[in-house]
Structure 1
């Protein structure tokens, strides 16, 4: 049950609610009123009122509206570019022969293996999500892909390994890539 308040206090709460003030602002402006009291009055007077939106406002500038409208009308949809390693035919052939050579290995054979890998950590830019637009019935084209090439400026190269027993060390590579001489060190 709503506690009876003086009429001027009720009108004050009503006008503040009508202009969209948050509860914290109403509590500051009307002394001695609790959040539950404001909520009950709001429920009684403005039962069909939409809740106040909070957070950052989504704004689209006047210059981008025509581009968005035209994209929607023509049926373009945003898609994420696929990451594809830049492999030539010889690379694919070597991968397949390696897999065929090792397909019959036992668990003991795999225990003797050391798996290692290098990775590039970008200092500038990002390898994150990149979008493109196309119609749903269009084919995937070259400019829809995000081709990746390892190495390059503005990055740090790291190397690490893992064995059957435990993970190995992680090392920073200063001269670009790991060579067979570096593994012996």
Structure 2
């Protein structure tokens, strides 16, 4: 009659050690599944599953579960990336709808995960002046032309510009700290008017200092007449004062 010895510590070992002990009893000692069940080393279903897996794969290692299959292939993921790069402002929902045309039924959340894998994250767009192809080309030509200028060269240049200023309120965003229910509290709102008064200011400067400052009448735009008058009455005297007859 087969004698079965139960080791007390076997009931306290880890799952990996339990699996190794079961296979050792089965392979080296010739125990059957029924014999091993009698040792109460593990539940009956667990013992038979370990023995079956060992016979199929010849190893005590458990095959890692593959998890839920991906809804898209690598090719479809590359297609999604191309769609996003073609229109950077497209939302996840819009991309999901366009992706469906490639037979990929996925949610906006799945779209965000796929794009995140490629390092594409959603961020607020930076604001920059609109540049046409001609603007870009002209700026590049300018940079190349003056890239080797020295401080002495730039010391012979005077810069001028004009800008509008609103007399009421601010044109940008303002952050406030408020409690719940204080969104429209007087101290937490930024007052606005439909047609705020605006003034245009013209100025110039060089390495020798700032020049004249011209403030146009309220709500007056800088047209060609005002600009020519400003250059004649303000710029030329500033140049004469800073540079003399050079």
Q: Same fold (TM over 0.5)?
A: no
Higher helix share: 2
TM-score w.r.t. length of structure 2: 0.30
TM-score w.r.t. length of structure 1: 0.39
